[in-house]
Amino acid sequence: MRRRHLRGVMAIERRAYARPWSPNLFAAELSEPETRSYLVAKIDRDVVGYAGMICYGEEAHITNVAVEPMLQGHRIATRLLVEEMRAAVRMGARAVSLEVRVTNWRAQRLYARFGFRPVGIRRNYYAELHEDALIMWADDIRSEAYARRLDRIAAQLPEGVRPA
Ligand SMILES: CC(C)(COP(=O)(O)OP(=O)(O)OC[C@H]1O[C@@H](n2cnc3c(N)ncnc32)[C@H](O)[C@@H]1OP(=O)(O)O)[C@@H](O)C(=O)NCCC(=O)NCCS
C-alpha cells in the first residue's frame, strides 16, 4: 500500500466498518514499514481490497482486511491473507493473532481456513456496536505443514487472483 492508494482504501474502509480507521492512522502505519506489511489488491488502477499486518518479534497481528462489497466472494481476501501470512513468516513471526466481531461468521470462516482458532473473547471490544471480539490465533506458521497449507490455498485460487 502506498499513500496514493489511500483514497481507494478509505472508500472501502468507510463502508466496511462502523468505526473506520482515519487516513492519518493508515498513513502512520505506512510510515513504519520495518514492522508492518500493508498490501492492496487492485483491478487495473482501482483498489478493490487491502490487508494489514504488524510483526513484533515472534508475534504478528492482522490489523485489517477488507474487500470492496461488490467484489466479495472472489477470494480476494484469501489472496491477501496468503501474502500477509507469508510476510509474517519472512518477518520472523511464529504465531499470528487477530480480533474479529463475534457475529462476523464470514471472516471467521476465512480465518479458520488459514488455521486461526478462537482462543478468547474481548468483551465490548467494538463498543459502538455493543459487540464482543473473538480473539483468534494461528500457531506454528514457520512449520513445513503451514507452508504447505498456504501453498495449497494459493494453488486453489481462481485465475486472476492466484499468484503468478
Ligand atoms: C471478510 C471479507 C474481508 C472477505 O473478503 P472476500 O474477498 O469476500 O473473501 P474470499 O472471497 O477470499 O473468501 C470468502 C468466500 O470465498 C469462498 N471460498 C474461499 N475459499 C474457499 C475454498 N477453499 N473452498 C470453497 N469456497 C471458498 C467462500 O464462498 C467464502 O465465503 P463463505 O465462507 O462466506 O462461504 C469481506 O467480506 C469484507 O471486506 N468484510 C467487511 C470487512 C470485514 O469484516 N473484515 C474482517 C474484519 S476482522
Residue nearest to atom 24 of ligand 1 (CA): 156
Q: How many domains does the chain have?
A: 1
Q: How far apart are CA 152 and CA 148, in angstroms?
A: 6
User: Is there a domain that residue 81 lies in?
Assistant: yes
Q: Is residue 121 part of a domain?
A: yes
Instruction: Tell me if residue 111 is catalytic.
Output: yes
pLDDT value, residue 164: 83
State residue 68's pLDDT score.
97
Per-residue pLDDT reduced to its tens digit, 104-138: 999 999 999 999 999 999 999 888 888 999 999 99
CA-based radius of gyration for the chain:
15
**Is the residue at 106 inside a domain?**
yes
Residues of the chain with pLDDT > 90, as a percent, come to 94
| Residue to mutate (ligand 1; options 40, 75, 116, 125; most atoms within 8 A of CB) | 75
CATH of the domain at 72: 3.40.630.30
Three cell numbers written together for 122: 474481548
E strand or H helix that includes residue 10: helix 6-16
pLDDT tens-place string over residues 49-95: 999 999 999 999 999 999 999 999 999 999 999 999 999 999 999 99
CA end-to-end distance (rounded Å), the chain: 19
Structural domain range at position 33: 3-155
Does the residue 150 lie in any domain? yes
